[in-house]
Structure 1
Amino acid sequence: MGENRVILVDADSVWRKNVKSMLTKYGHWVVGEAGDGLSAIKLVRSREPDLLIIDAALPGGMDGLQVAKIVHEDKLAPVIATSSSDQHGILEKAKEARVFALLIKPVGEASLLPAVELALANYQEITALEQKIKDLQETLETRKIVERAKGILMETQGLTEAEAFKRMQRQSMNKRVNIRLVAEAVIMAHSLNI
């Protein structure tokens, strides 16, 4: 709990001060404050916070949910949105913007702190799962390339599958490069010889 970098965005400076006081009491650091959407995006990009807490209805050309959507799409931080009232459709708009929580003002410690902790934990879990998916896709792509290169070696050199793999593996160790690079080189050399 605590020690996370937070940016607060709300046109009401008194509200920001109150929320900042609640967050700092529990060890979080407020690393930036803004009153409009454009400033919020600039702050998030420059300060790289762990969390953004933003009012859904900001003045100016960009409201808080538009900012939240951009922050989500660019994978900058999890977002907690706040709203002055349970406006018609605000929940649906918050879902579309992919916010991690929607708090109705006035926001107290009893609702803010659990929302902060859950948003941070869920964001970390999602980030870890996305990385795992990326790693698995990379592994699968490498396996496909190695299989294709083995097929080429088997066809052109008259090797068995095991011999073709061993040859690429030995080359990989001798050159101190990933086996995928060796396989790609085999495929490229074969395509140049055709």
Structure 2
Amino acid sequence: MKNAIVVVDDDPIIRMDIREMLEEGGYWVAGEAKNGEEAVELVARLKPDLAIMDIKMPVMNGIKASQIIRKLQQDTSILLLTAYSQKELVKDAREAGVAAFLVKPVSEEDLLPAVEIALSQKEKMDSLKQDIKQLKQSIEERKVIEKAKGIVMQAYSLNEEEAYKKMREASMTTRIPLSKLAACMLTEGLESLSSVAQDG
């Protein structure tokens, strides 16, 4: 699937040039905006992978727009376009969570590698978020299993190892994942283990 990119600049000729360079590079330009306010709306609606945005624009500048976009749509990476005279804004832009910078006028030789860098940072962030999500889920499942194990220990006067073994056996017999079985036990009581209890 092609990466979706939005281009934001108050100069229509610059927007057109960037669009052409991106399309020649195999990217998909999902939309365009002429100021920061439009950019925020566009990103919220389209949820692109990347926003390429000028800093100096009317209504709302690129840094302010970047700050809002980072809060609203954290999955969108931002590449800012800047003029030499705007180097003092680099610190502000970094704080706004911008992935990369390009100095105008923009050439294809500069644009495409910068786009690649910004998109690879986005992929790393996405992967990290996925890892964190899985880790949280694993911790939650562990907590449920521990609670259920406590119930089994109490009900059958078993030690920790024996209770865990009994739960694993029930999980294998019923072909229900251990975390699901534990969750069932917490909501429905020990019925989930009754068949194994009879055997043991």
The interval holding the TM-score normalised by the smaller chain is 0.7 to 0.9
- For the pair shown, the structure with the greater C-alpha radius of gyration is 2
**Is residue 2:112 matched to residue 1:113?**
yes
Alignment of 1:56 onto 2:55: yes
Secondary structure of 1:68's counterpart equals helix
- Aligned partner of 2:141 in structure 1 is 142
Q: Say whether the 8 Å CA contact 1:10–1:16 is kept in structure 2.
A: yes
Question: Hey, what's the Cα distance between the residues in 1 that align with 2:33 and 2:173?
Answer: 56
3-state DSSP of counterpart to 1:49: coil
Write the letter of the residue equivalent to 1:83.
T
Match of 1:4 in 2: 3
Aligned residue in 1 for 2:179: 180
186 and 90 in structure 1: CA distance in 2 versus 1, 3 angstrom threshold: same
Partner of 2:192: none
- Residues 72-91 of structure 1 show CA distances to partners (whole Å, capped at 9, x for unaligned) of 33323111011223425311
Shift of 1:163: 3.5
Matched, 1:65 2:39: no
Alignment of 1:1-194 (within 5 A): 3-60=2-59, 62-73=60-71, 74-87=73-86, 89-172=88-171, 177-187=176-186
Instruction: Report which stretch shifted further, 131-140 or 79-88.
Output: 79-88
**Superposed displacement of residue 22, structure 1:** 1.1
How far the C-alpha of 1:160 sits from its partner, in A, is 3.2
Relative to structure 1, the CA distance from residue 168 to residue 25 in structure 2 (aligned partners, 3 Å threshold; closer, same or farther) is: same
Q: Distance in 2 between matches of 1:170 and 1:71?
A: 50
For the 8 Å contact 1:44–1:76, the answer to whether it is kept is: no
Aligned-residue offset at 1:12: 0.7
Between the two proteins, the alignment pairs up a number of residues equal to 188
Letter in 2 for 1:27: G
Q: Distance in 2 between matches of 1:72 and 1:176?
A: 44
Gaps of 5+ in 2: 190-200
Stretches of structure 1 lacking an aligned partner (at least 5 in a row): none
Paired-residue identity, %: 37
TM-score computed with the length of structure 2 as normaliser: 0.82
Bigger helix fraction: 2
Q: State the AA in 2 paired with 1:63.
A: N
For the residue of structure 2 that corresponds to 1:159, the secondary structure is: coil
Aligned equivalents of 2:68, 2:175: Cα separation in 1: 41
